[in-house]
Amino acid sequence: MAGLPMLSYGPVSGNSGPFFEDLAVGQEFTSPGRTVTETDIVIFAGLSGDYNVLHTDAEHMKSSLFGERIAHGLLGLSIEQGLASRGEPAAAHGMLSGLKWKFKGPIRIGDTVHVRSRIAAKKEGPDPTRGLVSVERELVNQLGEIVQEGETEHVVERRPK
Amino acid sequence: MSAAVPVQCFFEDVEVNVPLETPGITLTRAHVALFTGITGEAGPPDAETVPGLLPLCVSSGLGWRVPRPPLAVLAFMGFEWRFLAPVRVGDTIHSQSRTLIKRSMREGGVIIEERQIINQRNETVQTGRLTLLVARRPKA
């Protein structure tokens, strides 16, 4: 094969960062928005097996405080996790190791939510190659109301020596 | 003729410190594909790793399959959770839970539930405490 240029793909399994060293306490991120649909709720009920009437019985919910079906709290959190990964490096590159979370208000069909996040703390990790990053997150609807909030903790690789 | 009232476990029916164990569920590539389709999260570094939140989400449905009627949950208020070990495609998980605390409120009652997710090797892979607002039994 002499004469052919060598193709360079870089390390196949390598993490190209950002690394623990690239993240700074106080860094803030805003995710894109996403509209939560009836389809999201139906698929999530099927996947999770949580068929609570809050999420699945439109007639029952007409007479409820909410007036209609609402998204599962954990569906909101799952969407939050996906949105955060589309802009925030700790979520995109760090394994989730802990969560403290509050569900503050309903997410209704048709609501559009986005994530505001801020790196709150950096700590020693489980071993010398990794650190822990804590991120404060808020899930905000189209009216500016915080519908969920909390703190996530991620294990993030340090830059290889 | 009125419709049958579904059998539910109300706040009054919840017993503190009684362990509940769910059946198991094997997590497949299909679960991972559906879940990442919903979240839109970039896939895990290798295709055999189950996203961390998926076992927790599935455990809420497993909780409907214990020898007790479904809990009359009015709202999931919050939780604290630890991810202790990775879950892989092909693992079979189930959950164990018990109510730690019951607190009566005007509109219902708050319970704090301790939950563990356990794999086929009997390793606890995730654990935490969930705070739920549960309805009172309607007055007859």
Which chain A positions have a beta carbon within 8 Å of B52's beta carbon? Answer: 95-96
Tell me whether residue A144 is in a domain. Answer: yes
Q: Which domain does A120 fall in, by range?
A: 20-157
Which chain A positions have a beta carbon within 8 Å of B64's beta carbon? Answer: 49-51
Q: Are the CB atoms for B104 and B11 separated by under 8 Å?
A: yes
Degrees, nearest 5: CA angle A86-A21-B125: 65
Partner residue opposite A81 with nearest CB, options B39, B65, B73: B39
The proportion of chain A whose per-residue pLDDT surpasses 90, expressed as a percent, equals 76
Q: What is the pLDDT of residue B5?
A: 62
Distance CA A75, CA B35 (A): 10
Per-residue pLDDT reduced to its tens digit, A103-146: 999 999 999 999 999 999 999 988 899 999 999 999 999 999 99
- Tell if the CB–CB gap between B42 and A85 is shorter than 8 Å: yes
Mutate to test the interface with B, among A51, A72, A101 (most CBs of B within 10 A): A101
Closest-CA residue to B130 (of B86, B88, B81): B81
pLDDT beyond 60 at A5: no
- Tell if the CB–CB gap between A98 and B83 is shorter than 8 Å: yes
What is the residue extent of each domain of chain B?
A: 11-135
Which chain A positions have a beta carbon within 8 Å of B128's beta carbon? Answer: 99
CATH of the domain at A127: 3.10.129.10
Cβ-based interface (< 8 Å): residues of B facing A: 31, 34-42, 45, 51-53, 56-58, 60-62, 64-65, 70, 73-83, 86, 128
Pairing of strands B73-83, A146-157: unpaired
Per-residue pLDDT reduced to its tens digit, A69-114: 999 999 999 999 999 988 787 777 788 999 999 999 999 999 999 9
Which chain B positions have a beta carbon within 8 Å of A98's beta carbon? Answer: 80-83
Tell me whether residue A136 is in a domain. Answer: yes
Give the residue from chain B lying closest to A50, CA to CA.
B61
Per-residue pLDDT reduced to its tens digit, B80-94: 999 999 999 999 999
Measured distance between the N- and C-terminal CA atoms of chain B, rounded to whole angstroms: 17
Tell me whether residue A134 is in a domain. Answer: yes
CATH 3.40.50.2300 fits B11-135, yes or no: no
Q: What is the pLDDT of residue A13?
A: 46
- Tell if the CB–CB gap between B78 and A102 is shorter than 8 Å: yes
Tell me whether residue A28 is in a domain. Answer: yes
For the question of an ipTM over 0.95, the answer is no
Whose tokens are 């986005």? That residue is: A114
Partner residue opposite B38 with nearest CB, options A54, A73, A78: A78
Tell me whether residue A8 is in a domain. Answer: no
Please tell me the total count of domains within chain A.
1
Tell me whether residue A9 is in a domain. Answer: no
Distance CA B116, CA B119 (A): 10
Confidence (pTM): 0.91
Degrees, nearest 5: CA angle B24-A150-B87: 25
Tell me whether residue A11 is in a domain. Answer: no
